[in-house]
Amino acid sequence: MGFIGSGKIGSAAARLAVGAGHDVVMSNSRGPETLTDLVGELGPRARAGTSLDAAQSGDVVVVTIPLKEYDQVPRDALAGKVVLDTMNYYPERDGQIAALDDESTTTSELLQAHLPDSRVVKVFNNIHFAHLAELPRPAGADDRSAIAIAGDDAAAKATVTGLLDDMGYDAHDLGPLSEGWRTQRDTSAYGQFYFNDPQDLAAGPRQATAATIAQKASEAKRYRDS
């Protein structure tokens, strides 16, 4: 797996991937030499590279950077690949993006439009990185949680569902990328249900099943409808 972005959510996902036996190539904006500590912690299945290296090396590639950087992601190197998108829109960080402000598209559709020859799957965007690290459980466990996915390619979603299973999660399929707005920021499906207490991160996470996510996603409203 390649990781474009090695911050809070990228490194949490990489720990789960390595734990599940996958090799990872980590990258960031500053260069591989700044990732020595992280790849040391991740162990022999991990190495650091450039973003281009991560894009070229991964069979699947996770894009997990500030959304404003999405058009910096290498297009040609990702052609034909499954691309996992964790990104969310925070205008205070990303600047105003008109097509998101007027809800004429969604965050993952922006990335898909930038990567027309890749198969983008939205995943990990609505779970706090600490919860992602704490909630994995073996397949079949009563207290296993699910993670929402969305995408336009069934085979790509099957790949991601398999990866999630390896990492300790069930998947809940929201449908095509255009349905991904349901778990975007500030919707009722934006990860609050993983919190024991949304006001207190130290209270830790709680299980969220596919049924819980489906219920929250069905209740979600677009800004223009709320």
Ligand X SMILES: NC(=O)c1ccc[n+]([C@@H]2O[C@H](COP(=O)([O-])OP(=O)(O)OC[C@H]3O[C@@H](n4cnc5c(N)ncnc54)[C@H](OP(=O)(O)O)[C@@H]3O)[C@@H](O)[C@H]2O)c1
Residues that bind ligand X (CB under 6 A): 4-10, 27-30, 51, 64-67, 69, 72, 86-88, 124-125, 128-129
CB 29 within 8 A of CB 64: no
| Burial of 114 (C-beta count, 10 Å sphere; 0-12/13-18/19+) | middle
d(CA 18, CA 53): 18
Residue 28 beta carbon to ligand X: minimum distance, rounded to whole angstroms: 3
Nearer to ligand X, 119 or 191 (CB): 191
Q: Nearest CA to 189 among 162, 226, 215? A: 215
Instruction: For tokens 């398999």, name the residue.
Output: 162
Nearer to ligand X, 155 or 186 (CB): 186
CB atoms within 10 A of CB 19: 15
Residue 94 beta carbon to ligand X: minimum distance, rounded to whole angstroms: 8
d(CA 102, CA 139): 40
Nearer to ligand X, 4 or 78 (CB): 4
Nearer to ligand X, 91 or 155 (CB): 91
Residue 6 beta carbon to ligand X: minimum distance, rounded to whole angstroms: 4
End-to-end CA distance of the chain: 38
Nearer to ligand X, 105 or 138 (CB): 105
Residue 111 beta carbon to ligand X: minimum distance, rounded to whole angstroms: 10
Residue 213 beta carbon to ligand X: minimum distance, rounded to whole angstroms: 15
The residue at minimum Cβ distance from ligand X is 7
Q: Which stretches does DSSP call E strand in the chain?
A: 2-4, 24-27, 46-48, 60-63, 82-85, 119-122, 146-151, 170-173
DSSP 59-72: SEEEE-S-GGGGGG
Nearer to ligand X, 36 or 139 (CB): 36
Nearer to ligand X, 6 or 159 (CB): 6
CB 145 within 8 A of CB 207: yes
